[in-house]
Amino acid sequence: MVKRRLAAVIAVTIAIMLFALPVFTGCGKVAQFADPMTENILVSINNADYAGFSRDFDSAMKAELNEEYFPDFLAQVKVIADNYKEGSKKIVGVNINNDLTTATYTADFANAEDVTVEVTFKKIDGKMQVVGLWFK
């Protein structure tokens, strides 16, 4: 009876590890390009630096979140969360759907902790670019 239960626990543990390994590996591969781009976006918000903020945006994202709208965007972030605490972001999920990869982070800000930041990426002309950005 004990041996059977132990065998069942071991089998379930192995199944969970086999399922989880590709998920963690995928997060690691996505984090290689997503982490520095996301950190740059968040630090550029702190510095009110549109050139840095939009550096990795595709053309549609630059048109949508253009330099003229940037002060309004900054004001919205500052009212809710204030400044990002540099280096505090943690990747908590990855969703790959066709040619879009969304990295979900939690990040700490001066007035709010564990703010969800989602950044969607797409490979365009051989380079990963930001095509979506959301704060929740």
What does the alpha-carbon distance between residue 121 and residue 8 come to, in Å, rounded to a whole number? 41
Contact 45, 84 (CB under 8 A): yes
Eight-state DSSP code of residue 49: -
What ranges in the chain are assigned the alpha helix state H? 2-46, 50-53, 59-64, 70-80
Q: Which fold has domain 2-135?
A: Nuclear Transport Factor 2; Chain: A, (3.10.450)
- Give the integer Cα–Cα distance in Å for 133 and 62: 11
Residue 13's contacts (CB-CB under 8 Å, 6 or more residues apart) are: none
- Give yes or no for residue 24 having a pLDDT over 50: no
Tell me the domain boundaries of the chain. 2-135
* DSSP symbol at 110: T
Task: Read off the pLDDT of residues 34-76 as tens digits, 9 standing for 90 and up.
Answer: 999 999 999 999 999 999 999 999 999 999 999 999 999 999 9
**Residue 15 pLDDT greater than 50, yes or no:** no
Predicted confidence band of residue 28 (pLDDT cuts 50, 70, 90): confident
pLDDT of residue 43: 98
Instruction: Tell me the Ramachandran region of residue 103: left when phi exceeds 0, alpha when psi lies from -120 to 50, beta otherwise.
Output: beta
- pLDDT tens by residue, 66-123: 999 999 999 999 898 999 999 999 999 999 999 999 999 999 999 999 999 999 999 9
Per-residue model confidence (pLDDT) at position 5: 57
Looking at residue 134, what is its pLDDT?
95
Q: Does residue 27 carry a pLDDT above 90? A: no
